[in-house]
Each structure stands twice: as structure tokens, then as C-alpha cells.
């Protein structure tokens, strides 16, 4: 086997490892709720008690699962009932805080869809009691003037956002209560979830509690809404009395978990009282993945009347699902990272050695030719030997001296512990006096050349050249304060004449569109090149071998 | 004046003037406005606001990972971007870790100088509020994969040689899941493949502070949501500084704002000179046509 | 005549700048910002700071002198920069990577194994010695006979790069492609709360975007001839888009370089000559 083939095989095997590492899953098996369970909500439908909860396969990526109560036990469905979508933007990153409502058109599940922007309130409808859902997209609430900050905050103002919500369907009308970041509660109602209208003023305009509650829910009692706030383990119920809200609170007993949480949506009427479902967090021996394991548990029970806790209850009814097993490849990835880092570190010295060899040779040759008569040696110039020597080898000596000094100073003076020592001071000195100013000056020198180039060659000789020049000018001036100053002379509504707006659109629409096409091309090209190298078709890599 | 130049028309001479005249005029403009320091309204790009809002709403129990990879050449742009963001993070008490690369050791030194200066002014402690890692060899995506899976195991030590396990703030931050935002400040924002190996795999949002040159390549990624914010050039730094100052975090704006005020006039000079040269071209063409007819 | 005039100009300018610099030096002690800067930079005293500033200023001027022609002054600082930059890089790699991320953990693992026996993590750390062996193979490129051995290290790096490129590329590419399928007629469900006009503008913007990407792709598509009027027309539009993008690129490039220049001018004026606000 030739050397070239050995090299090709090495490259192929290493490439294959990383290729497999990409296409094969990092972990295999496991259930959708293997990482975390939480946010239980209960609902009754067709005489069955149903429960929906959020399960995470991976931190922060919620999927909704369903459980049915049969013969006193919660039984989990094998498959999740609602998953995040890959392509729809509003719940790409997962689903959180579900609320289930039994409506005539079907069992409706409302949830906050997580995406790269702000969470969006969405809903899905099921016709088979929650076994499967059909997504219906975001809930549409007509915004009034006061509420406008929700969608687009004016400059400099922190936008108010939905933090939590509760929904209900009564007398043919949908009611949605929105709890915002500023602790206000708004009410919206309408015939369906695509046509809700918001009330002019919030029903709770100031903070009822000092801290923001962990979860929030609303249920109705005699036609009046009762707001349920849960703070850690304290459950507060607010009923309207006149203009104020009257509170009733009690504490759920502490269980034996590290961090028990009650969920307002997990409110259930049971025979003897009201039961709240929540989660229990237990320390688990997985220090890197997750220090805790969460479990769903019935957390607190109280009587229907004055709110006294009944026999404290804390029973786990759902643990996290079976976790996936890491593959051998994924164990290896971390090691491979370290391995390649070390191999890469050694390559960096090649540059130094090459430079040292080059300059060292120069000095050596100049020293050899020190006394050679002018003209006979191969070196240029003539004159006194010393002058000749400095001219030919002086700069190389400068390089080697600065290299040696910098290596020593930087080695000894790079940590904070070296503060005050001569090493640190001289390291800082060399960096701030030579490396920093020169690096910057070299980078900036081209400005002058660009000015003369622009002056001479930026001429409108054709339509395309005109586009080029106009784009350059708009982009330069529009991003600068001078553009802002010019824009202030133009009325606000004349957007096309406002350079900052124009340059923003130029960059984010026209430039982005063109560059995206270039990008798609280059990315496909890079796959092709990688394939060539990986499969050993590219012989240029192995040139000068054999 | 050479003989050739004498025979040319006025507009031709304007069109092909000695570049040294341009250099001198340009230098005068830069020097004069550097001395005068005119205060001007700073524009407010959308993506700067988005980054500011994101940082404003970051959860306090997670950390931010800052990739500090700028060098001496783009210090005028990136230092402002780096400084304003860390001031904002400090003011919100969000802890952050700074990663630097051996391919650009200047980033470590410059970042460290800024970090020390800001931390001293805002009374923050190294190891409790922020930490700067040792430089990492940038061996492509494999480095980022290892970093994302196990920060402690891969980075091992901070810049002062302490084990990450001994650093108080690092006890809670072990993997990329504990990071709520990655912010890369660099000449080339795409120089380290954060998108391919971290953002798309773990969903950690990525924002960039980029030198003007590379910023135009970021817009397709902003559009697709792979980037969540962008500070482009000195103008981006100035816009962020303005927001930070308006929020009462710092008493005054920084290097970015200073740069853009001079830059405005220098840019205006260039634009005017381009327009003059075009006008001269049209005039000389028109004169030539008239002479022929 | 012309030459001597030029010489006189440069001499006068040089003397003027030097005079300002010397004048600044006399004032430096009394300027509070200078004292603050010494403190910020953690320098022992004012003298060191001023010396550092002077050398930094000289090195800047040396670089700018290259605009006229190459000279020994420039060459000196060029070699000094090269030495400093190389030295600094190597020192960082040696101390922060090889020493503390590689040697120290291996040493620790060996001690651990000697005391407590083998564990899988220790074994993995000790196996990193292999990385050092492979890393040393790079240096075979200085031998003519065993040159090919150095290619082993290179092939491992290249193979890893090629394997990883698939992940990087597809993870970047897919959102770019899906992001191009934009809604050119956004309904009120897509943009809740927006007016009809706002939705119309959004639709137009998305339409312009999609047309741009498709037409530039068409422009770069060489697989079939461009006789077809649709291909011809769209690749022409693609050219316009490209021109606009290149114009924006030029504008951004210029501003970037300009920022660096202004930063240098700011340094020279404010820190060296002390005639502008620090």
C-alpha cells in the first residue's frame, strides 16, 4: 500500500467518525418526558378526568403529554399529544404552561409557544378527548391603545409581556385572562379564539402580590372570577369585593422534596375538598446533566369552605420517563475535541520555527560574509562591513530579540498574580507600545487607498454602477449620525427619504436576499469540497507525498 | 503641474486630481472633528434594540457566554460593543464567562483590559460576577462541541490558572444548557462556527458584535433567526452605549459614540468627493460632446 | 524646486508636531485624565506611561510613513511587531493550552491512577498523550525523507474538518432555505394586530426578498444556457441585487477601516499630543 493511500485511509476514518457522530443520534431510546415533567392542568371531558402536563426531552423544549384517571390511578398515554413544530415559527422551541378547556367544538388546549422571540399564546383543538390535537395557531386578541405596549414597545420602554394566562369557556363565550410581566391582569372575551377583544382596562391594575407568582389560574365561582396565584408553596385566592380584591391564602405542606411547586392549573375538585397538583424536585445523582429529577405529585388538599388544609398530601404519581442512553460516539466527541485541540496547538509553533529559521539563516549568512569584499558576495549593497551586516541582518536580529523578550515576558506576566512584577509591566508595555498601535495602524492604512480608489473609480457609467454607488452612499450615510440628522429634516412619514430607515431596509432586505443566495451556493460548495477530501478524491492535499 | 495636466480641461483635472490632495483634505477633516467633538444624534438600528431587550429579559440564574475575539485593528469598533454589553450585564447582575482563542491572542489581552477597568468601576469581583477562560485552540466545530457538552472538563482553568471547579460562580454553570445567550464580539462574527455547532444544536441564542466589514454578511442569519441581535461597527457600539447611558447604567457614552461623530464627517467628506468626481465626469463628457458638435 | 518645497513642508510639519508633543509633555503631570489612565492601565508611574505612549506614537507614525515609501524606520517597527505578535501567540499556547490543559491534567491523572487505580476518565485523560505524539508529527516536515509523516497529523485534521463540515453546513443551510419561503400575503393570523397597510408592506418586503434570493441564485446557475427569457431576465435582476449588496459591502468596509483610523488619530491627538479630549 502506498503512503498516499495510508494517508487517505486515515483521513477517511477520522472523517467517518465525525460524519457518523452527526447523522446518528447522540442518545438513543428514552421517552419524551425523560428530562423533566411539570405544569399539570386538569380538565373533565366526557365524564373522564384528564390531565395534561409538559414533559421535556431536553432542557427547555416542552412537549405536552396526557394522562387519564382510571380506577384511581393516572395512566399515561404512550405518545405525547402535542409536539412542537419544526417549521411554524410560533412554537418552534417548545410548549409551556398549558391550559385545557372543555368547549363544544372539542377539547381545547391553550399554551404559550416558545420561539426565538417572545412567547406566543396559541391553541390546539382535539376531537378525541385529547389523544391527538390539531394546531390552530396563535390566539388573536384585538389590541387596544393601552395594550399596544404588548406588541411593540416604544423605544426605550420595556415591553409588557404575557407571563401567564388562564382561559375559560362559559355561556358561548371565551374568556382569556392574561397575566403580564408588570403583574397586571387583563381580560379578553369573544365568540372564538381568533376574535377576542380586550377590555379597555385591566381587571387588576396594580400588583396584588409583591413577588410575581410562579403560576396563575382563574376559575369562576357563581359567575365571578376567582384569581389563583401560587407563590412557591403558598396558594392565594383573590375574590372581588367592590373595587378591591380580597385574598384568602394557605400554605401547602412541605413534602420531602428539595423544591415542591404547586401549579394553579392543577386544581381539582375531589370529594372532600380541592386538590392541587404540582411537582416535586428530588436531588439526583446526575450532576452534569441535571442536578434534580422532577416528579408530578398531588401536593396540597384543602376543604371547600374556609380553606383549612386537610390531611397533608404529597404523593408522587408520575416520574420522569426512561432516559435515553448516550452512544459511544457521543462519549468520544468530548475526547476528540481535546485531542484535536492538542494536535492543533503543536501546529502553531511551526510558524514560529519557520520565521526563526528564516531570520536565523539571514544572520548566519551575513556573519559568514562579514569580511567578504563588496560586490563579490551575493548580498546586495556595499560599503563598510559593519554597515553591511546591520543592513542585511539587523532587522532579523530585531525580530529575534523581540520574539525572545516577548515569549519570556508573556509567559511570566500573563496572569493577574504577576501584577507589579517586572514581567507583567514589560509584557503590558510591549503590547501597548508596539503590538496594539501597530496592528491598528496597519489595519487603518488602507483607508487612504480606499478614498483615492473611491474617488477615481466610483463613477456612474451604467445602471449597475449606479446601484453600486447609491447603495454604498445610503449604507454609509444612513448608519451614521449624520444620516439621523438629515432624517430629522424630513417628515416622519416620508420613510423613503429617511436614510437610516432606508439603509436598514437596504441591508436587511436587498443585501440579505442577495447574500443569502451567495451563502446557499458557498455552503453547497463546501459540502462538495468536504466530500472530495473525505473520500480521497482531492489529490492536491497529498501532493509531494510519494 | 505636469505638461499633460496643463492641457486638460478644468473638469478633467478635478476628475484626476492628485490623491495626495485628497489625503491631506481628509486628514484635516478627521483631525478637526476629532478636536471639536461635535455631539450628534445616534441612530437606533433595530437589531441593537433587540439585543438590548434580550439582555434586559435574560433569566438571572443563567450565564452569558461572551466570545471576545477582536484585535487591535478593529478595537475602534469592537471595544465599544464589548464594553457596553458587559456594563449592561453587570448592571443586571447577570454572570458571564469570556472565551478567547489562541488564533487571536490580542482578544484576550484587550478584553482583559476592558474587563478589569469596567469591573473596578462597577465593583464586580473576578470569579463571582465574571470569569475569563484560558485561551482555547480553535480547532473548528469539534472544539465548540466539547465546550458545549462540558465546560469544566474542556476549558479546565481560567486565565489566572485557577481550576474552574474552585471558582464560585462556575459551580452552577456546567454545560451550554446553563447559558442563556452567546455574544460574539469579533472582526468576523462568523469566524467561529457557533451557529452550526451550538445555536442550531442546542438552541442557545447567538448575538454578534461585528466589525462593519463583516456585518453585512450577518443579515441573512438575522432574517432566519439564527442570530438574535447585531451590533454593526462603531455605529452599533454607539447605539448600545446610548441605550446603556439612557438606562442610567453609565454616566457617559464611550469610545463608539466618540468614533461615530468623527466618522460622520469623514464619511460625508468621502460621499461629497465621490459626488464631485461624478459631477466632474459628467461635465467633462458634456464639454467633450459640445466641442465635437 | 518642487522637491525642496516638499521637504520644507515636511520639516515644518514635523517640528510643529514635535513642539506640540513636547508642550504636551510639560502639561501631562497636571492633567487628571492622564493620571486616571495610568491607574486604569495598572502602570507603576507616569514616566512609564509616557514612554509607552511615545513609543506607541512613533510606531504609528512609522506605519503611516509607509504611505510615502518604505523606509528603515518602518522596517524596524515591522520586525518588532512580528516578533512581539509571534512571541505572544506562542507563549499563550504554551502556557494556557499545552501546559495547563494538557500536561497538568495528564500528570494529575497519572498520580490518581497510581494512588486509586484505573478509572475510565483517567484513562481517557492519559490517552491524550497520543495527541502529543501526533502533534509532534507536524515537525517531520523539516525532514526531506520523512516529510510524508507530517501529513498524518494534517490528514487527521483535514478528515475531522471534512466530517464536521456536513454538520456545520446543513445546520446553517436548512434554516436559510426554510427562511426564504416567506409569506408574501400575510393574513391577520400571521401578523395579529397589524393593519391592512402594515400587512401589505410586509408582503411587499417579503416578495422583494424572495425575488432577490431566487434571481441571484439564477444568476449563479450555470447549468443551462441563458437564452430562455425568464432566465435571462431574472439573472439580470440578480445582478442588480448583487450590485446593491456589493455597494453595501463597500460602504461597511470603508466605515470599518475608517473607525480604525479614527481610533489611531484619537490616540495620537488625545493620548500623545494631549490636545483633544481623552
* Centroid of chain to Cα C125: 33
When mean pLDDT is compared across B92-101, B270-279, C182-191, the lowest value belongs to C182-191
* In a shared domain, residues A440 and A474: no
Q: Is the pTM of this model over 0.90?
A: no
Q: Does any CB of chain A come closer than 8 Å to the CB of residue C160?
A: yes
Grid cell of B255 as nine digits: 469610545
Query: What are the start-end ranges of the H helices in chain B?
Result: 3-7, 10-15, 19-36, 46-56, 75-91, 105-121, 141-149, 151-155, 194, 200-202, 212-215, 219-224, 233-246, 255-292
Per-residue pLDDT averaged across A283-293, rounded? 54
With CB atoms and an 8 Å threshold, state whether C247 touches A469.
yes
Structural domain of residue A293, as residue ranges? 209-323
Q: Which helix (H) or strand (E) holds A68?
A: strand A62-70
The residue among A1, A4, A9, A11 with the most chain C CBs within 10 A of its CB, best to mutate, is: A11
Q: How far is A343 from chain C (nearest CA, A)?
A: 4
Under 8 Å between Cβ of B103 and B72? no
* In a shared domain, residues A525 and A438: no
Q: Does any CB of chain C come closer than 8 Å to the CB of residue B32?
A: no
Q: Does any CB of chain B come closer than 8 Å to the CB of residue A473?
A: yes
Task: Choose the closest CB to C92 out of B135, B155, B197.
Answer: B135
Q: Does any CB of chain C come closer than 8 Å to the CB of residue B77?
A: yes
Task: Choose the closest CB to A343 out of C148, C153, C246.
Answer: C153
Burial of A135 (0-12, 13-18, 19+ CB in 10 A): middle
Report the complex ipTM. 0.93
CA distance B237 to B85: 9
Any idea where the domains of chain C sit in the sequence?
2-94, 182-278
* In a shared domain, residues A345 and A304: no
Cβ neighbours of A11 (radius 10 Å): 29
Under 8 Å between Cβ of B71 and B110? yes
Task: Choose the closest CB to C256 out of B105, B212, B225.
Answer: B212
Per-residue pLDDT averaged across B143-172, rounded? 90
pLDDT digits (tens, 9 = 90+) for A449-499: 999 999 988 889 899 999 999 999 999 999 999 999 999 898 888 888 889
Q: With CA atoms as reference, report the closest residue to B135 among B166, B100, B106, B86.
A: B100
- The pLDDT score that the predictor gives to residue B184 is 96
* In a shared domain, residues A222 and A272: yes
Q: Which helix (H) or strand (E) holds B209?
A: strand B206-210
With CB atoms and an 8 Å threshold, state whether B212 touches C259.
yes
Task: Provide the 3-class DSSP secondary structure of residue C103.
Answer: helix
With CB atoms and an 8 Å threshold, state whether C171 touches B201.
yes
CA distance C96 to C84: 18
Under 8 Å between Cβ of A275 and A313? yes
| Chain B residue with Cα closest to C180 | B224
Q: Does any CB of chain B come closer than 8 Å to the CB of residue A511?
A: yes
Give the B window 230-289 contacts with C, CB below 8 Å.
Answer: 232-235, 255, 258-259, 262-263, 266-267, 270
Task: Choose the closest CB to C176 out of B31, B113, B224.
Answer: B224
C48 CB neighbours in chain A (<8 A) are 425, 429
| CB pairs < 8 Å spanning A and B | 197
Q: CA A297 → CA A228, A275, A527, B225, C181, distances in Å?
A: 19, 11, 50, 38, 44
DSSP state of C261: H
Bridge partners (DSSP) of residue A66 are A52
CA distance A40 to A280: 12
Q: With CA atoms as reference, report the closest residue to A479 among C253, C201, B224.
A: C253
With CB atoms and an 8 Å threshold, state whether B139 touches A287.
no
* In a shared domain, residues A487 and A428: no
pLDDT digits (tens, 9 = 90+) for B104-150: 999 999 999 999 999 999 999 999 999 999 999 988 888 998 999 88
Q: Which class would CATH give B46-253?
A: alpha beta
* In a shared domain, residues A318 and A226: yes
H helices, E strands: number in chain A: 9, 23
Per-residue pLDDT averaged across A75-100, rounded? 86
With CB atoms and an 8 Å threshold, state whether C212 touches A513.
yes
B154 CB neighbours in chain A (<8 A) are 334, 337-338
* In a shared domain, residues A401 and A497: no
Domain end position, chosen among A323, A345, A380: A323
Reported as a pLDDT band with limits 50, 70 and 90, residue C77 is very high
Reported as a pLDDT band with limits 50, 70 and 90, residue A257 is low
With CB atoms and an 8 Å threshold, state whether A516 touches B220.
yes
Q: Decide if A214 is inside a domain.
A: yes
Q: How far is A45 from chain B (nearest CA, A)?
A: 36
Grid cell of B122 as nine digits: 462597577
* In a shared domain, residues A341 and A451: yes
Burial of C195 (0-12, 13-18, 19+ CB in 10 A): exposed
A523 CB neighbours in chain C (<8 A) are 169, 172-173, 176
Q: Which helix (H) or strand (E) holds C60?
A: helix C46-65
Contacts of C212 (CB under 8 A, 6+ apart): A509, A510, A513, A514, A517, C237, C238, C241
Task: Provide the 3-class DSSP secondary structure of residue C165.
Answer: helix
Grid cell of B189 as nine digits: 462574527
With CB atoms and an 8 Å threshold, state whether B141 touches C256.
no
Per-residue pLDDT averaged across A183-195, rounded? 86
With CB atoms and an 8 Å threshold, state whether B135 touches C100.
no
Touching subunits for chain C (3+ Cβ pairs under 8 A): A, B
Bridge partners (DSSP) of residue A62 are A56
| Chain B residue with Cα closest to A154 | B49
Under 8 Å between Cβ of B42 and B240? no
* In a shared domain, residues A399 and A435: yes
With CB atoms and an 8 Å threshold, state whether C42 touches B102.
no
H helices, E strands: number in chain C: 10, 0
Domain with CATH 3.40.50 in chain B: 46-253
* In a shared domain, residues A348 and A440: yes
Reported as a pLDDT band with limits 50, 70 and 90, residue B100 is very high
Domain end position, chosen among A278, A293, A323: A323
Cβ neighbours of C120 (radius 10 Å): 8
Q: CA A91 → CA A55, A112, C278, distances in Å?
A: 15, 8, 49
Residue with cell string 506640540: C20
Domain count, chain A: 3
CA distance B167 to B119: 17
Comparison of pLDDT for A376 and C112, the residue scoring more = C112
The residue among A150, A433, A465 with the most chain C CBs within 10 A of its CB, best to mutate, is: A433
What percentage of chain B carries pLDDT values higher than 90?
72
Amino acid at each position: 500500500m502506498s503512503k498516499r493511500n495510508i494517508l487517505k485511509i486515515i483521513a477517511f476514518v477520522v472523517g467517518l467518525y465525525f460524519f457518523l457522530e452527526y447523522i446518528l443520534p447522540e442518545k438513543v431510546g428514552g421517552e419524551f418526558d425523560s428530562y423533566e415533567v411539570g405544569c399539570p392542568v386538569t380538565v373533565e371531558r366526557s365524564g373522564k378526568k384528564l390531565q395534561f402536563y409538559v414533559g421535556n426531552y431536553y432542557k427547555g423544549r416542552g412537549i405536552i403529554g396526557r394522562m387519564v384517571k382510571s380506577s384511581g390511578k393516572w395512566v399515561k398515554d404512550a405518545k405525547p399529544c402535542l409536539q412542537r413544530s419544526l417549521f411554524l415559527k410560533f412554537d418552534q422551541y417548545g410548549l409551556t404552561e398549558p391550559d385545557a378547556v372543555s368547549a363544544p367544538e372539542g377539547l381545547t388546549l391553550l399554551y404559550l409557544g416558545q420561539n426565538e422571540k417572545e412567547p406566543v399564546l396559541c391553541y390546539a383543538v382535539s376531537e378525541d378527548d385529547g389523544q391527538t390535537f390539531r394546531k390552530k395557531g396563535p390566539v388573536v386578541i384585538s389590541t387596544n391603545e393601552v395594550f399596544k405596549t404588548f406588541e411593540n414597545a416604544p423605544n426605550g420602554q420595556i415591553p409588557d409581556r404575557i407571563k401567564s394566562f388562564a382561559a375559560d369557556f362559559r355561556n358561548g363565550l371565551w374568556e382569556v385572562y392574561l397575566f403580564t410581566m408588570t403583574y397586571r391582569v387583563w381580560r379578553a372575551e369573544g365568540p372564538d379564539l381568533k376574535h377576542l377583544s380586550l377590555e379597555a382596562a385591566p381587571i387588576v391594575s396594580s400588583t396584588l402580590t409583591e413577588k410575581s407568582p410562579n403560576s396563575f389560574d382563574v376559575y369562576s365561582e357563581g359567575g365571578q372570577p376567582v384569581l389563583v396565584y401560587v407563590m412557591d408553596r403558598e396558594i392565594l385566592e383573590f375574590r372581588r369585593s367592590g373595587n378591591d380584591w380580597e385574598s384568602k391564602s394557605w400554605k401547602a405542606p412541605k413534602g420531602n422534596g428539595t423544591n415542591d411547586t404547586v401549579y394553579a392549573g392543577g386544581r381539582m375538585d375531589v370529594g372532600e375538598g380541592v386538590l392541587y397538583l404540582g411537582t416535586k424536585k428530588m436531588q439526583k445523582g446526575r450532576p452534569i446533566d441535571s442536578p434534580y429529577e422532577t416528579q408530578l405529585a398531588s401536593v396540597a388538599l384543602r376543604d371547600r369552605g374556609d380553606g383549612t388544609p386537610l390531611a397533608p398530601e404529597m404523593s408522587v404519581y408520575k416520574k420522569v420517563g426512561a432516559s435515553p442512553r448516550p452512544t459511544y460516539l457521543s462519549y468520544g466527541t468530548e475526547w476528540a475535541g481535546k485531542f484535536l485541540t492538542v494536535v492543533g496547538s503543536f501546529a502553531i509553533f511551526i510558524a514560529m520555527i519557520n520565521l526563526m529559521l528564516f531570520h536565523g539563516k539571514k544572520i548566519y549568512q551575513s556573519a559568514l560574509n562579514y569580511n567578504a569584499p563588496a560586490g563579490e558576495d551575493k548580498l546586495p549593497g556595499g560599503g563598510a562591513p559593519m554597515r553591511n551586516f546591520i543592513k542585511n541582518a539587523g532587522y532579523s536580529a530585531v525580530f529575534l530579540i523581540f520574539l525572545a523578550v516577548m515569549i519570556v515576558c508573556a509567559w511570566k506576566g500573563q496572569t493577574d498574580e504577576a501584577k507589579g512584577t517586572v514581567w507583567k509591566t514589560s509584557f503590558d508595555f510591549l503590547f501597548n507600545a508596539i503590538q496594539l498601535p501597530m496592528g491598528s495602524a496597519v489595519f487603518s492604512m488602507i483607508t487612504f487607498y480606499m478614498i483615492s480608489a473611491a474617488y477615481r473609480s466610483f463613477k456612474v457609467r451604467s445602471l449597475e454602477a449606479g446601484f453600486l454607488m447609491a447603495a454604498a452612499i445610503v449604507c454609509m450615510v444612513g448608519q451614521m449620525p449624520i444620516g439621523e440628522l438629515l432624517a430629522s429634516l424630513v417628515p416622519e412619514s416620508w420613510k423613503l427619504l429617511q436614510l437610516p430607515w432606508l439603509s436598514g431596509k437596504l441591508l436587511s432586505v436587498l443585501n440579505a436576499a442577495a447574500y443569502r443566495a451567495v451563502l446557499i451556493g458557498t455552503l453547497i460548495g463546501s459540502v462538495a469540497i468536504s466530500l472530495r477530501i473525505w473520500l480521497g478524491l482531492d489529490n492536491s492535499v497529498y501532493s509531494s507525498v510519494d | 503641474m505636469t505638461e499633460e495636466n496643463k492641457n486638460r480641461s478644468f473638469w478633467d483635472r478635478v476628475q484626476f486630481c492628485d490623491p495626495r490632495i485628497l489625503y491631506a483634505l481628509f486628514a484635516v477633516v478627521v483631525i478637526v472633528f476629532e478636536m471639536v467633538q461635535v455631539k450628534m444624534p445616534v441612530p437606533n438600528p433595530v437589531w441593537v434594540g433587540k439585543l438590548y431587550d434580550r439582555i434586559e429579559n435574560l433569566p438571572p440564574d443563567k450565564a452569558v457566554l461572551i466570545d471576545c475575539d477582536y484585535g487591535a485593528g478593529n478595537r475602534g469598533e469592537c471595544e465599544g460593543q464589548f464594553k457596553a454589553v458587559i456594563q449592561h450585564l453587570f448592571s443586571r447582575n447577570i454572570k458571564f464567562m469570556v472565551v478567547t482563542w489562541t488564533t487571536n491572542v490580542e482578544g484576550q489581552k484587550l478584553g482583559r483590559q476592558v474587563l478589569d477597568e469596567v469591573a473596578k468601576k462597577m465593583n464586580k469581583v473576578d470569579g463571582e460576577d465574571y470569569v475569563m477562560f484560558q485561551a482555547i485552540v480553535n480547532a473548528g466545530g469539534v472544539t465548540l462541541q466539547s465546550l458545549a457538552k462540558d465546560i469544566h472538563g474542556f476549558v479546565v482553568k481560567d486565565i489566572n490558572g485557577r481550576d474552574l471547579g474552585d471558582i464560585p460562580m462556575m459551580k452552577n454553570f456546567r454545560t451550554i444548557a446553563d447559558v442563556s445567550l452567546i455574544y460574539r464580539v469579533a472582526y468576523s462574527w462568523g469566524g467561529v462556527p457557533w451557529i452550526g455547532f451550538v445555536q442550531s444544536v442546542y438552541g442557545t441564542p447567538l448575538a454578534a458584535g461585528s466589525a462593519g466589514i463583516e456585518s453585512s454578511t450577518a443579515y441573512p442569519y438575522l432574517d432566519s433567526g439564527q442570530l438574535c441581535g447585531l451590533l454593526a461597527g462603531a455605529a452599533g457600539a454607539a447605539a448600545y452605549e446610548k441605550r446603556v447611558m439612557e438606562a442610567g447604567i453609565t454616566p457617559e457614552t464611550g469610545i463608539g459614540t466618540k468614533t461615530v461623530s468623527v466618522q460622520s464627517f469623514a464619511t460625508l467628506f468621502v460621499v461629497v468627493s465621490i459626488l464631485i468626481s461624478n459631477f466632474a465626469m459628467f461635465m467633462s463628457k458634456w464639454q467633450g460632446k459640445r466641442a465635437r458638435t | 524646486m518642487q522637491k525642496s518645497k516638499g521637504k520644507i513642508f515636511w520639516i515644518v510639519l514635523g517640528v510643529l508636531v514635535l513642539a506640540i508633543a513636547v508642550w504636551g509633555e510639560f502639561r501631562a503631570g497636571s492633567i487628571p485624565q492622564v493620571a486616571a489612565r495610568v491607574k486604569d492601565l495598572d502602570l507603576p508611574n507616569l514616566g512609564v506611561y509616557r514612554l509607552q505612549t511615545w513609543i506607541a506614537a512613533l510606531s504609528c507614525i512609522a506605519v503611516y510613513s509607509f504611505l510615502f515609501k518604505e523606509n528603515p524606520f518602518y522596517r524596524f517597527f515591522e520586525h518588532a511587531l512580528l516578533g512581539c505578535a509571534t512571541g505572544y501567540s506562542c507563549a499563550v499556547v504554551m502556557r494556557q493550552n499545552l501546559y495547563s490543559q494538557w500536561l497538568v491534567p495528564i500528570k494529575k491523572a497519572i498520580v490518581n491512577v497510581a494512588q486509586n487505580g484505573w478509572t475510565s476518565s483517567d484513562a481517557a485523560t492519559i490517552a491524550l498523550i497520543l495527541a502529543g505524539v501526533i502533534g509532534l508529527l507536524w515537525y517531520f516536515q523539516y525532514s526531506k525523507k520523512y516529510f510524508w509523516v507530517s501529513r498524518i497529523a494534517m490528514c487527521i485534521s483535514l478528515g475531522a474538518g471534512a466530517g464536521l463540515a456536513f454538520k456545520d453546513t446543513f445546520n446553517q443551510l436548512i434554516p436559510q432555505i426554510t427562511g426564504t419561503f416567506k409569506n408574501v400575503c400575510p393574513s391577520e393570523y400571521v401578523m395579529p394586530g397589524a393593519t391592512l397597510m402594515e400587512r401589505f408592506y410586509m408582503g411587499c418586503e417579503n416578495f422583494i426578498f424572495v425575488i432577490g434570493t431566487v434571481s441571484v441564485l439564477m444568476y449563479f446557475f450555470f447549468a443551462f444556457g441563458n437564452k430562455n427569457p425568464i432566465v435571462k431576465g431574472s439573472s439580470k435582476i440578480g445582478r442588480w441585487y448583487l450590485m446593491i449588496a456589493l455597494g453595501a459591502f463597500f460602504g461597511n468596509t470603508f466605515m470599518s477601516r475608517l473607525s480604525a483610523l479614527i481610533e489611531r488619530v484619537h490616540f495620537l491627538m488625545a493620548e500623545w499630543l494631549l490636545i483633544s479630549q481623552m
